[in-house]
């Protein structure tokens, strides 16, 4: 996925109606400003808090490098935050950089994996992946669909359409995809949609 | 025909009057065209005509204007205004709008992508709401939460907002109620607003209260607390420059004002008395007399030009380094500290900057010679500046006798209102208002006094713009 392409693709230059647009005797204003506002980049704080909220994770469980350094600190500039205190960068980057999709994938994948591992370790106290047996070697289609619907509600805060459920649940259709792999991939797929990453 | 050779010829012939950058030009234009969009809360930028001011070079519009000026006789201001009129009907950028119309509408006579609107977009819909017909309440509701609560609304919150097909007025009120809740949230107070304040406060951890190097100079958390306190709960934003109090955090997390001088508590490798707030209430001027602001900007400068420039940039929106807000004072710069600022290439900006800075000389930067960092010492300029002669400060054409008067004058200006409005606007849209938003933008910031000088008022209006619900 290319962030820049998304941003550029959705950017529509708005130009107001000009003096020579109005015909003689024109009385009504019909400004040519119908172009939609470009979607905004959901930057570090909102992205990490939406992930924490959706997956019921504390900030230190979201993603760490070498088990020590939080990804949200290490990659804060690429994730759209500023760094005023240590590096006197008072303004965040105006647009995602080439690293932004990489570190976003890293953050989301780690968060999804973290939630799957926790729910698999304590099935009786599972928070998110409650529709499937995470220790199983495969997932029943109906269970996969139910889990996808639950993930849509948690991550995108809405009901999934039938088509959306079908597409994500298809990840479980392969024989070599275990339940925990399906869970991680389904979570990752939904949490890296433009709908979740932009607003 | 390119006008470049004409400019070169004029310079070669020593015709200085039309062929040099004149920092009074923005003031001349905005005095004559006070209602122009280009002067709404702003002074015209030098970049309207110039690509550089030293050595002076001109853009296409500037060259066209200068060609007209060399044919006229008279005082500079009269010649400039006559040339603006004479070239007003011409269309330098070929976008269909005359040069003067573009200046009046703030669309830049040299930018072919921006031209004045025939009329403003309709902002009151058929339902009587101050919204565009196509305003998407659900999108706006999500955006309000991300921007001001720091996260998306929950699934259940969204369902409640959607409810049982509520009417547009019900959604409109629910949206503003949600915004009010977010504007009272810990996120907005402790994360959203501080990130807006970063460029005003300019913290450096090495010299802050959290320094791990033993170089503590001042505690900028006082500045962050003061900013967040003033910008929340419909408080008066003029206190950014007028507050004579400080703000502490109570045990339950709320920000509460406290009066008086605050004793320093931090040690320092240099032995400064830091970490408190040493300026007595009569000499306080909000954010621009905190210990951090004075220490970090003044450092050891006898005449604190950087301090004044940062105050001018942060709170009036004029960046002198970008040649904005130039309003030269006659006879300035006198070069009171013999830094060579009277040289022509320096005087362009220092004729505005030095009079801005004189009042700040009464406040210490880093504390030396028995002075406390950021303290108020009325004899300081006389002690540190050999050529000091009670040089009078001036802000935007009016004399000011102290930093407190500087601040009192500043909050009366349109530039102050415009700057606060821009801060809140840029937080949402990460851009300047577009041509078709400009009319509403100017209308809203001009009404700031009627709405209690509240930052929240501005935010409530900005989310009603078509772009927010598009």
**pLDDT surpassing 80 at residue A36:** no
| pLDDT of B367 | 85
Q: What is the ipTM of this complex?
A: 0.85
pLDDT band at B265 (very low <50, low <70, confident <90, very high): confident
Q: How many CB atoms lie within 10 A of CB A5?
A: 9
pLDDT in the model for residue B3 = 45
Q: What are the chain B neighbours of A21 within 8 Å (beta carbons)?
A: 118
Residue contact A86–B150, C-beta within 8 A: no
Rounded mean pLDDT, A124-145: 96
- pLDDT over threshold 60, residue A17: no
Summarize pLDDT for B138-163 with one digit per residue, the tens: 999 999 999 999 999 999 999 999 98
pLDDT-derived band at A97, boundaries 50, 70, 90: very high
pLDDT beyond 90 at B448: yes
User: Does residue A34 register a pLDDT over 50?
Assistant: no
The stretch B71-86 carries a mean pLDDT of: 91
**8 Å CB contact of B434 and A36:** no
Q: Residue B425 above 80 pLDDT?
A: yes
Q: Compute the average pLDDT of residues A49-65.
A: 96
Higher pLDDT, A23 or A52: A52
Q: Which residue of B has its CA nearest to A82?
A: B195
pLDDT at A31 over 80: no
Is the pLDDT at B368 greater than 90? The verdict is no
Per DSSP, the residues of chain A read --HHHHHHHH--------GGGSPTT--S---S--SPPPPPB--HHHHHHHHHHHHT--GGGT-EETTTEEHHHHTTTTTT--BHHHH-B-S--SS--TTHHHHHHHHHHHHHHHHHHHHHH-GGG-SS--SS-TTSSS--HHHHHHHHHHHIIIIISSPPPHHHHHHHHGGG-STT--HHHHHHHHHHHHHTSHHHHB-
pLDDT at A19 over 90: no
CB-CB under 8 Å, B118 with A29: yes
Note whether B155 contacts A40, CB cutoff 8 Å.
no
Global pTM?
Answer: 0.88
Indicate whether B16 pLDDT > 60.
Answer: no
Q: What residues of chain A, 168 to 187, have a C-beta less than 8 Å from chain B? A: none
Is residue B21 over pLDDT 90?
Answer: no
Over 70: is that where the pLDDT of A193 sits? yes
Task: Please name the helix (run of DSSP H) or strand (run of DSSP E) that holds residue B399, with its range, or none.
Answer: strand B398-400
Binned at pLDDT 50, 70 and 90, residue B15 comes out as very low
Cβ–Cβ contact B158 with A under 8 A? yes
More reliable by pLDDT, B296 or A21: B296
pLDDT single digits (tens) B212-231 = 888 888 999 999 999 999 99
What is the percent of chain A with per-residue pLDDT over 70, rounded to a whole number?
82
Asked whether the predicted pLDDT for residue A1 surpasses 80, the reply is no
Q: Is B52 on the interface with A (CB under 8 A)?
A: no
Give the contacts of B236 (CB within 8 A, at least 6 positions apart): B230, B242, B452, B453, B454
Provide the phi-psi class of B424: left if phi over 0, else alpha when psi is between -120 and 50, else beta.
Answer: alpha
- Compute the distance between CA of residue B287 and CA of residue B278 in angstroms, rounded to an integer: 13
Query: What is the pLDDT at residue B46?
Result: 86
Res B123 pLDDT > 70? no
**Which of B158, B187, B467 comes nearest A37 by C-beta?**
B467
pLDDT of residue A72: 96
Q: Minimal Cα distance from A150: which residue of B?
A: B155
Is residue B62 scored above 80 in pLDDT? yes
Minimal CA separation from B22 to chain A, in Å: 32
Query: Token pair of A190, please?
Result: 């939904």
In the predicted model, is pLDDT for residue B171 greater than 90?
A: yes
> In sequence order, what are the residues at sequence separation of 6 or more whose Cβ sits closer than 8 angstroms to the Cβ of residue A167?
none
Q: Say if the Cβ atoms of A31 and B117 lie within 8 Å.
A: yes
pLDDT value, residue B271: 55
Q: Residue B220: what pLDDT? A: 96
pLDDT at B266 over 80: no
Lowest mean pLDDT among A53-57, B35-39, B127-131, B242-246: B127-131
**pLDDT mean across residues, chain B:** 90
A49 and B122: CB-CB below 8 Å?
Answer: no
- A33/B116 CB distance under 8 A: no
Q: What pLDDT does residue B7 have?
A: 47
A-chain CB neighbours of B154 within 8 Å are: 53, 157
Section B244-267 average pLDDT:
91
Residue B268 confidence class, pLDDT cut points 50, 70, 90: low
């Amino acid at each position: 996925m290319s962030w820049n392409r998304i941003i550029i693709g959705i950017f529509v230059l708005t130009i107001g109606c000009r003096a020579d647009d109005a015909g003689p005797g024109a009385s009504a204003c019909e400004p040519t400003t119908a172009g939609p506002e470009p979607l905004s980049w959901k930057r570090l704080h909102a992205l990490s808090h939406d992930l924490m909220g959706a997956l019921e994770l504390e900030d230190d469980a979201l993603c760490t490098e070498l088990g020590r350094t939080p990804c949200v600190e290490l990659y804060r500039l690429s994730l759209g935050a500023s760094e005023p205190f240590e590096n006197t960068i008072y303004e965040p980057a105006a647009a995602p950089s080439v690293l932004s999709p990489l570190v976003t994938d890293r953050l989301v994948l780690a968060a999804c994996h973290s939630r799957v591992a926790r729910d698999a370790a304590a099935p009786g106290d599972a928070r998110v992946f409650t529709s499937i047996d995470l220790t199983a070697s495969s997932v029943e289609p109906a269970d996969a669909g139910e889990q996808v619907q639950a993930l849509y509600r948690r991550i995108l805060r809405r009901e999934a359409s039938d088509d959306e459920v079908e597409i994500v649940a298809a990840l479980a259709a392969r024989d070599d995809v275990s339940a925990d792999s399906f869970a991680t991939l389904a979570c990752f797929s939904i949490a890296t949609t433009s709908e979740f990453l932009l607003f | 025909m390119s006008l470049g050779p004409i400019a070169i010829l004029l310079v070669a012939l020593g015709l200085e009057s039309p062929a040099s950058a004149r920092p009074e030009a923005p003031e001349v234009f905005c005095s004559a065209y006070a209602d122009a969009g280009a002067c709404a809360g702003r002074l015209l930028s030098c970049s309207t005509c110039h690509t550089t001011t030293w050595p002076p070079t001109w853009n296409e519009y500037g060259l066209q204007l200068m060609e007209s000026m060399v044919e006229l006789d008279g005082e500079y201001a009269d010649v400039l205004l006559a040339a603006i009129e004479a070239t007003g009907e011409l269309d330098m950028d070929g976008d269909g709008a005359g040069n003067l119309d573009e200046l009046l509408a703030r669309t830049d006579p040299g930018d072919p992508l921006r031209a004045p609107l025939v009329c403003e977009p309709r902002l009151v819909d058929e339902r009587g709401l101050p919204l565009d017909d196509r305003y998407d309440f659900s999108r706006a509701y999500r955006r309000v939460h991300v921007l001001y609560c720091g996260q998306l609304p929950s699934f259940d919150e969204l369902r409640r907002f959607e409810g049982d097909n509520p009417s547009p007025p019900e959604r409109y009120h629910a949206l503003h109620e949600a915004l009010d809740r977010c504007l009272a949230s810990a996120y907005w107070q402790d994360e959203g607003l501080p990130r807006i304040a970063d460029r005003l406060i300019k913290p450096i951890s090495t010299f802050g209260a959290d320094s791990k190097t033993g170089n503590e100079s001042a505690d900028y958390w006082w500045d962050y607390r003061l900013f967040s306190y003033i910008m929340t709960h419909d408080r008066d934003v003029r206190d950014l420059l007028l507050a004579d109090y400080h703000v502490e955090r109570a045990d339950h997390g709320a920000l509460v004002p406290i009066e008086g001088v605050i004793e320093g508590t931090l040690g320092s490798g240099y032995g400064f008395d830091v970490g408190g707030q040493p300026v007595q209430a009569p000499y306080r001027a909000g954010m621009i007399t905190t210990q951090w602001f004075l220490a970090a900007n003044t450092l050891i400068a006898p005449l604190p030009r950087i301090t004044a420039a940062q105050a001018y940039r942060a709170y009036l929106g004029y960046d002198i380094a970008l040649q904005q807000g130039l309003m030269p004072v006659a006879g300035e710069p006198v070069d009171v500290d013999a830094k060579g600022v009277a040289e022509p290439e320096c005087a362009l900006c220092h004729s505005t900057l030095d009079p801005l800075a004189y009042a700040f000389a009464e406040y210490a930067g880093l504390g030396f010679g028995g002075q406390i960092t950021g303290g108020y010492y009325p004899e300081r300029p006389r002690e540190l500046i050999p050529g000091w002669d009670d040089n009078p400060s001036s802000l935007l054409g009016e004399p000011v006798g102290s930093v407190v008067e500087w601040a009192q004058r500043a909050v009366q200006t349109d530039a102050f209102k415009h700057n606060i409005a821009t801060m809140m606007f840029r937080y949402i849209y990460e851009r300047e208002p577009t041509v078709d938003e400009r009319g509403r933008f100017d209308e809203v910031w001009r009404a700031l006094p009627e709405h209690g000088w509240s930052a929240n008022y501005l935010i409530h209006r900005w989310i009603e713009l078509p772009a927010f619900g598009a």
